[in-house]
Amino acid sequence: MHETGTPDPDTPADLCAWAKTYASTVDIDVDLDRVDWEVSKRAKRRAGACRYQPGDETCTIVLTWQAYRAFGWRQFTDTIRHELVHAWEFQQFGESGHGARFRQKAAELDAPRHCETFSEPRYVLRCSASDCDWRAARHRASNPVKQPADGYRCGVCQSRYVVEHVDSGETWRTEKGYQQARAELGDDW
């Protein structure tokens, strides 16, 4: 299944595709034909969610893009297993929570008992193309944060991107801009 090594999805569509593939390898009795997958770029704090439509008995698992960017694939699979336990409860019992039944199933899958939260990243990279909504979260001042003009590009359309220091809203496109922002903010960095 993972013959190409660790998945590294870099677009929401990729993340959906990998999540679906991964879900089919998880040992849980969920009818995946009745599960839809979505990626949210707006959700804050919650890493994922599972919604149930009782009318047609389908579930929608919503994965939070920023959480995936913050966790990386390996840790994000914990979130996928957690949401699959919700889907399992919905399909089997028509309801889901974080009660004893949930906890037992989650333990079987070594999935977290609570809906996982994630912290806002320190930096966000944002594509500068007006018709592209690519964003990437960064917690550390890595080279793509400090030297955005040094050959780094949007992960979708290959345009240049802008780096934003989330707390202050300061933005830059070059290493010089990074150093200026850093100097201006001083202790507020």
Which of 154, 164, 170, 178: binder of Zn ion (CB under 5 A)?
154
Which of the ranges 68-76, 129-137, 164-172, 180-188 carries the binding residues for Zn ion, by CB under 5 A? 129-137
Under the binding rule (CB under 5 A), the answer on residue 107 touching Zn ion is no
Buried-exposed string 28-42: b where 16+ CB fall within 10 A, e elsewhere: eebeeeebebebbee
Which of 149, 156, 162, 181: binder of Zn ion (CB under 5 A)?
156
Distance CA 133, CA 130 (A): 8
Under the binding rule (CB under 5 A), the answer on residue 159 touching Zn ion is yes
Which of the ranges 7-15, 63-71, 73-81, 124-132 carries the binding residues for Zn ion, by CB under 5 A? 124-132
- Residue 68's closest CA among 46, 95, 96, 101? 46
Which of the ranges 12-20, 34-42, 119-127, 180-188 carries the binding residues for Zn ion, by CB under 5 A? 119-127
Under the binding rule (CB under 5 A), the answer on residue 185 touching Zn ion is no
The amino acid present at 96, given as its one-letter code, is S
Query: Shortest approach of Zn ion to residue 62 CB, angstroms?
Result: 12
Which of the ranges 17-25, 26-34, 109-117, 118-126 carries the binding residues for Zn ion, by CB under 5 A? 109-117
Nearer to Zn ion, 116 or 170 (CB): 116
Other Cβ atoms within 10 Å of 23 Cβ, number: 20
| Residue 39 dihedral angles phi and psi, to the nearest 5° | -120, 130
Which of 87, 106, 127, 137: binder of Zn ion (CB under 5 A)?
127
- Residue 48's closest CA among 23, 73, 27, 78? 78
With both helix axes pointing from N to C terminus, report the angle between 100-108 and 73-93 in degrees, rounded to the nearest 10: 130
Full DSSP string of 46-96: BSEEEEEETTTTEEEEEEEHHHHHHH-HHHHHHHHHHHHHHHHHHHHHS--
Nearer to Zn ion, 144 or 189 (CB): 144
Nearer to Zn ion, 16 or 115 (CB): 115
Applying CB under 5 A, the residues found at the interface with Zn ion are 115, 127, 129, 132, 134, 154, 156-157, 159
